[in-house]
Structure 1
Amino acid sequence: MRSRSPRAVSLLTAVAAVAALTAATGSPAESPHTPSPPSPPSRSPVAIGDGGAVSSVDPEASAVGIDVLRRGGNAVDAAVATAAALGVTEPYSAGLGGGGYFVHYDAGSGKVTTIDGRERAPLSADEDLFLEDGAPLPFDDAVTSGLSVGTPGTPATWEAALDAWGTVSLRQALRPAERLARRGFTVDENFRGQTAQNEDRFRDFPASAELFLPDGELPEVGSTLRNPDLARTYRMLGRQGGDAFYRGVLARDVVRTVRKPPVDPDADREVRPGDLRAADLRAYDTKFQAPTRIDYRGLDVYGMAPSSSGGTTVGEALNILERYDMGAAERTDSLHRYIEASRIAFADRGRWLGDPAHEDVPTRGLLSQRFADARGCLISDDKALTSPLAPGDPRDPGDPQSCGGKGEAAPLTYEGESTTHLTVADKWGDVVAYTLTIEQTGGSGITVPDRGFLLNNELTDFSFAPADPGVPDPNLPGPGKRPRSSMSPTIVLEDGEAVLALGSPGGSTIITTVLQTLVNHLDRGMRLDAAIAAPRASQRNTERTQLEPGLWDSPVRARLEALGHRFTLSSRIGAATGVQRLPDGRWLAGAEEERLGGGSARVVHPTAYPTARPGSPY
């Protein structure tokens, strides 16, 4: 435990940290020439050492965060700087045009606090947002449109986090990313592949084509992609603060782009305008709120409360699993119970989760052990459940032996798999788990002209129409409403001290990725990097469970099929990052080995560690 809180850092120390960060990053005025980018930092799925840790999907972004920590910044400073860098190098997953959820642990007070920075629907939106002539729009038409763009929450989240817990200004936190955008980054195979997925859409928007299709072509692997427009946008935001985005010229440009999408006149695509207005940006606010919390085997597991469904769904599933000795179970039994707990929790998620500002969300009931026991008794040791499974009622769980559900199952809404997650710990023991997104890979496909960032398509996370008049749906659009999310940034405490934090991209598979990684680590004893690398299964109250190749090709699949489970092959589920506090006080940063090309785990002062990972994958 540290002896002081970063928020209590003396003015002299804070000024010194700002000065050091400024010296490290420079500014356009100090560096009139744009040098070629140096070789990108190497990727590593694991790092162990002292002084703090950063884990993200990108080596440039993780290097930015580590440099902030090395120069005296705290976990929040590093998290915002890392997120801004991801807006440069991972623009199809995150950036100023999106939103997310920020979970913060303060070691000085032992308190976990969250920021809901989710996008909001326009104040003019209603349940018919995605209906034309009484029928839902085709999904792809809704995605690439102004209709899908929610009021971004990312700039407000960064400013709110720094104001509450940071030791540097927004301007200082953005400066490394500003410099990175100006000098550029090296295109890898994953970036080129994601660009190719979006090529047809990008060509229909001149600003997107100019930025992401240099000279009209896909960027070559090994080439340098620069974004001077984003560098200027970051510089403006740093100087003027959030008002520049929500009330100033950036607000004007965002509104104009949504209301009259700048489509190439030769494009055949019909791009519907949205109804986002200046009043929507002025009215936007982040929400500081208490996290979800459950006790799991004597540990405190904190997650994100609604409007995210992550904390409640992960929490309910863990509560269901509490009755089993998952560590001692044979791996077929362990996977069977994990799959069933997830199936049940998703059935309840579909019925009850929405924006609590607009819906009556029974968060406490969903997280109660009584409700978990009433739902968990559905699980049989020798036979799989079938989906769609009816939801339970957390307001009236009933007899734990009744094992019943009530009403019809809600359908699983589609969520884009883009998104990104970063995890940071500092030398004082503070921790941040932050998941941010623009929804689809490439968001709406619409770049704000001259500003260098894509707009989200987050409103497609709403249900487009009620599935059935008799099935209540808390996730229909509404004025100023936040769409339901699956983002699940999670922090685990033991005796008041953070010992684990993690999260993942992946749409609704975020929840199952976080849940399975927790089970692997907390129950099956895998070190965090091994828990992340293990092959995954994802059951979300659907007829079939997704399996990655490592499980699909394993004998365990046949044994699970003998119980009645049905499977479909998925090449990849999620892409987690996290940090683990080791018993000797060092930090382990963990990231993916292969998924999305591998992640980037770094620590400030690396120390030697065994290459063998405790715990073996399924």
Structure 2
Amino acid sequence: MLSRTLIVATLLALAGCATTPLSTGTNAVASAHPLATQAGLQALQTGGNAFDAAIATAAVLAVVEPYSAGMGGGGFWLLQKRNRETVMIDARETAPGQSHPDMYLNEAGEVRSDQPSLNGPLAAGIPGQPAAFAHINRLYAERPLRANLAAAIRLARQGFRIDERYRDLASWRRKVLRQHPDSARVFLHKGKVPETGTLLRQPALADTLEQLAEDGAEGFYSGPVARQLVEDVQAAGGIWTKADLAAYQIIERDPVTIRYRDAVIQTASLPSSGGMALAQMFGMMAERPITELYPEPDAVDRIHYRTELMRRAYRDRARHMGDPAYTDVPRERLRSSDYLARQAGSIEPLTASDSRTLFDAGTGGRHTTHLSVLDSDGRRVSATLSINWPFGSGFLSGQTGILLNNEMNDFAIKPGVPNAYGLVGGKANQVEAGKRPLSSMSPTLIDTPQRSAIIGTPGGSRIISMVFLGLLDVMDGHPAGAIVSRPRYHHQYQPDQIQHEPEAFTPDQRFRLQALGHRLENVGREYGNMQLILTDHTSGQTQAVADPRGIGQAIAQPVD
């Protein structure tokens, strides 16, 4: 992997930036909830930098979006400092110490029908979110951690009014929430989904946040909070131990850096599969541009071409990617020009590929959330955070107010068997004690001579394809509002189909894609919740835009 110094130097040269730090004169925050965006902006207005604002924003999201992210989950953060050096914060969950490859299989070796990798405390990995707050605040922020958690503590203790998005997702997970008394007590009302406008208070979560503010990571991973968490989890059949919590560590990693034409893209590295998959897709485009297939490509040609790129990248995700501490991922091979040229060369201009026939490299959301932050000195944060499914595992630790994730389902529960998002995996991503499950979360920064952007989205397995299409739109000069609202389509190798939003294709496009041999699957709803901050280097204007599919808010505020 390239050193950070070389990455920064290359980014500055290729993006056409000056050697002095980028200074926009604008503070901007985009997140999936207005209360979180406002907390982040207030942090910027009261002496904080982008990293303070990101913590404040994420902490509020942990309170007001219990269906998407929280203190019982984790995620990936890209932090870019004033000198343009970028670091990835890996706050992905880890498998408890008693985990093993067969823990979700029955005596016959088949996946258990009661779905313990999805529902209940056995589905939960050890959270990374509290450690991320403490780590980022200690090394990169300006304000005390207590100040950055203050808005979240207040909203947890005093409450906030629930909205239709909360009701929709609570309705979808009501059955599992009702199975756990503390979950039902906090998130439901007499077993039913509360009405819009109901005040939701989480005093136990406020107490836990107070402990984190007072003592940092130790306030969560040891002491009373850790003891209470373990008591609640074990009483409900989970396998967490105090040693599991005490052993959790944040990992700082180099981001994946992609150079395509005049753009420099920085995104998450393993155990996020996003960086590798995006690098492969852009690498295939460089090896075989669409104009080689179609001298004058129309919309259907582009859809077919991009779908075939997705198909190949997701295939390698399924076969080769996992936690690099446990799996020897052939990263150089997967990104080599020889391999990518061969992959791109296998794309047929008039025929959809059969996923079963793709060759091998060899070894030689709705749930999840995203936030984007920019400060007036040019620091940037792109962070994608998750508890996996809506309301995670559905299990709430009553003593601590922590809603547990169900990220263990992101492991390959059994090789070749799809997870909740239809993704298949193999031994590289099998369950092992202490291991971090493979993820699709792809927080991303992009710089071109014309524009810079902070971009990301929730969406499970579809995150990578959404970010890919969004990056292409940034490079093509599309307006910020159009980038976040564009119709979406996706291919993930298996199932062998183009999944798409209801209005993604015209009738003619559907007919022509099917004539090429593509199977189309209308998912029946819109998906994703992209948060974008876009700076135009010519005009100096910065725009912050929240996805209209969600209830988020984005604010760009010039600083005098």
Give CA-to-partner distance per residue, 1:14-73, whole Å, 9 cap, x none: xxxxxxxxxxxxxxxxxxxxxxxxxxxxxxxxxxx9521111111111111111112221
Cα 1:537–1:337 shift into 2, 3 Å:
same
Cα deviation, residue 555, structure 1: 2.5
* Equivalent in the alignment of 2:7: none
Cα deviation, residue 2, structure 1: 10
Structure 2 CA distance for aligned equivalents of residues 246 and 150 of structure 1? 13
* Equivalent in the alignment of 2:4: none
Cα deviation, residue 599, structure 1: 2.5
Cα deviation, residue 216, structure 1: 4.4
Q: How does 1:235-246 map to 2 (within 5 A)?
A: 235-246=210-221
Aligned with residue 324 of structure 1, among 277, 289, 307: 289
One-letter code of the match for 2:142?
Answer: T
Aligned with residue 502 of structure 1, among 430, 455, 475: 455
Q: Retained in 2: the 8 A contact 1:51–1:70?
A: no
* Equivalent in the alignment of 1:401: none
Cα deviation, residue 370, structure 1: 3.1
One-letter code of the match for 1:537?
Answer: Y
Q: How does 1:201-240 map to 2 (within 5 A)?
A: 201-240=176-215
Cα deviation, residue 558, structure 1: 1.7
Q: Retained in 2: the 8 A contact 1:520–1:531?
A: yes
Give CA-to-partner distance per residue, 1:548-572, whole Å, 9 cap, x none: 1222444322222221111010212
* Equivalent in the alignment of 2:383: 434
Is 1:478 aligned to residue 432 of structure 2?
Answer: yes
Structure 2 CA distance for aligned equivalents of residues 549 and 467 of structure 1? 29
Cα deviation, residue 588, structure 1: 1.2
Q: How does 1:262-341 map to 2 (within 5 A)?
A: 273-322=237-286, 323-324=288-289, 329-341=297-309
* Equivalent in the alignment of 1:30: none
* Equivalent in the alignment of 1:490: 444
Q: Retained in 2: the 8 A contact 1:115–1:286?
A: yes
Is 1:353 aligned to residue 316 of structure 2?
Answer: no
Q: Retained in 1: the 8 A contact 2:22–2:378?
A: no
Structure 1 CA distance for aligned equivalents of residues 22 and 516 of structure 2? 52
Cα deviation, residue 451, structure 1: 2.1
- TM-score normalised to the size of structure 1? 0.81
Aligned with residue 531 of structure 2, among 560, 574, 577: 577
Structure 1 CA distance for aligned equivalents of residues 319 and 43 of structure 2? 43
Structure 1 CA distance for aligned equivalents of residues 481 and 222 of structure 2? 43
Q: Retained in 1: the 8 A contact 2:366–2:527?
A: no
Cα 1:519–1:58 shift into 2, 3 Å:
same
Q: Retained in 2: the 8 A contact 1:538–1:573?
A: no
Structure 2 CA distance for aligned equivalents of residues 457 and 113 of structure 1? 27
Is 1:82 aligned to residue 57 of structure 2?
Answer: yes
Is 1:53 aligned to residue 34 of structure 2?
Answer: no
Cα 1:2–1:94 shift into 2, 3 Å:
farther
Is 1:560 aligned to residue 513 of structure 2?
Answer: yes
One-letter code of the match for 2:556?
Answer: V
One-letter code of the match for 2:37?
Answer: S
Structure 2 CA distance for aligned equivalents of residues 493 and 364 of structure 1? 24
Structure 2 CA distance for aligned equivalents of residues 292 and 368 of structure 1? 14
Cα 1:164–1:363 shift into 2, 3 Å:
farther
Cα 1:308–1:589 shift into 2, 3 Å:
same
Is 1:530 aligned to residue 482 of structure 2?
Answer: yes
Partner secondary structure for residue 338 of structure 1: helix
Q: Retained in 1: the 8 A contact 2:272–2:438?
A: yes
Partner secondary structure for residue 182 of structure 2: helix
Structure 1 CA distance for aligned equivalents of residues 166 and 28 of structure 2? 25
- TM-score normalised to the size of structure 2? 0.89
Count, aligned residues: 528
Q: Retained in 2: the 8 A contact 1:420–1:505?
A: yes
Structure 1 CA distance for aligned equivalents of residues 353 and 114 of structure 2? 30
Cα 1:282–1:424 shift into 2, 3 Å:
same
Partner secondary structure for residue 193 of structure 2: coil
Structure 2 CA distance for aligned equivalents of residues 365 and 181 of structure 1? 48
Give CA-to-partner distance per residue, 1:144-163, whole Å, 9 cap, x none: 12221111000111111122
Percent same amino acid at aligned positions? 35
Aligned with residue 94 of structure 1, among 69, 76, 81: 69
Is 1:121 aligned to residue 95 of structure 2?
Answer: yes
Residue segments in structure 1 that go unaligned for 5+ positions in a row: 7-48, 262-272, 397-415, 608-618
Q: How does 1:401-550 map to 2 (within 5 A)?
A: 417-467=366-416, 473-494=427-448, 499-523=452-476, 525-541=477-493, 542-550=495-503
Partner secondary structure for residue 485 of structure 1: coil
Cα deviation, residue 482, structure 1: 0.7
Q: Which moved more, 1:140-149 or 1:166-175?
A: 140-149
Structure 2 CA distance for aligned equivalents of residues 289 and 417 of structure 1? 27
Is 1:599 aligned to residue 552 of structure 2?
Answer: yes
Cα deviation, residue 94, structure 1: 0.6
Cα 1:391–1:72 shift into 2, 3 Å:
farther
* Equivalent in the alignment of 1:613: none
Aligned with residue 589 of structure 1, among 539, 544, 549: 544
Structure 2 CA distance for aligned equivalents of residues 513 and 5 of structure 1? 27
One-letter code of the match for 1:142?
Answer: S
Structure 2 CA distance for aligned equivalents of residues 529 and 208 of structure 1? 37
Structure 1 CA distance for aligned equivalents of residues 359 and 90 of structure 2? 26
Cα deviation, residue 339, structure 1: 0.5
One-letter code of the match for 2:101?
Answer: E
Structure 2 CA distance for aligned equivalents of residues 167 and 606 of structure 1? 18
